[in-house]
C-alpha cells in the first residue's frame, strides 16, 4: 500500500512566505557584505595603484547596483513575504 502525503494549502502558503522573506534577507546581506568587503580591501596598506583603481571601480559598481537593484529587490521580496504572513493571519481563517 502506498500512502500519499499531501501538504496542506495553508502550510504551503506559509512556506512560500518564509522562502520569500529569507531570499530578501539573503539578497540584502549579500549586497551589504560585498560593499563592506571591498571597502575593507581598499584600506589595505601596500596596495598597488592598479589594484586600488580596480577595487575602487568595483566598489562604485557594487554601491550603484546595491542602491538600484539589490536593496529594492530585497525590500520587495521581504514585503511580499510579509504580506503572505499577514494574509494567513488576517484573511485565511478556517
Give CA–CA dist 91/16, Å, rounded. 16
Q: Give 14: exposed, middle or buried? Use CB within 10 Å, 0-12, 13-18, 19+.
A: middle
CA-nearest of 90, 94, 87, 93 to 16 is 87
Q: How confident is the model at residue 3 (pLDDT cuts 50, 70, 90)?
A: low
What is the per-residue pLDDT across 18-57, written as a single tens digit (0 to 9) for each? Answer: 999 999 999 999 999 999 999 999 999 999 999 999 999 9
pLDDT 10s digits, 55-85: 999 999 999 999 999 999 999 999 999 999 9
What does the alpha-carbon distance between residue 7 and residue 33 come to, in Å, rounded to a whole number?
36
Model pTM score: 0.84
Amino acid at each position: 500500500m502506498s500512502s500519499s502525503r499531501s501538504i496542506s494549502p495553508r502550510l504551503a502558503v506559509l512556506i512560500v512566505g518564509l522562502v520569500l522573506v529569507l531570499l530578501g534577507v539573503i539578497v540584502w546581506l549579500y549586497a551589504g557584505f560585498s560593499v563592506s568587503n571591498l571597502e575593507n580591501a581598499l584600506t589595505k596598506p601596500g596596495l598597488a595603484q592598479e589594484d586600488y583603481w580596480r577595487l575602487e571601480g568595483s566598489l562604485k559598481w557594487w554601491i550603484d547596483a546595491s542602491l538600484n537593484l539589490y536593496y529594492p529587490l530585497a525590500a520587495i521580496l521581504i514585503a511580499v513575504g510579509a504580506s503572505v504572513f499577514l494574509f494567513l493571519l488576517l484573511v485565511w481563517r478556517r
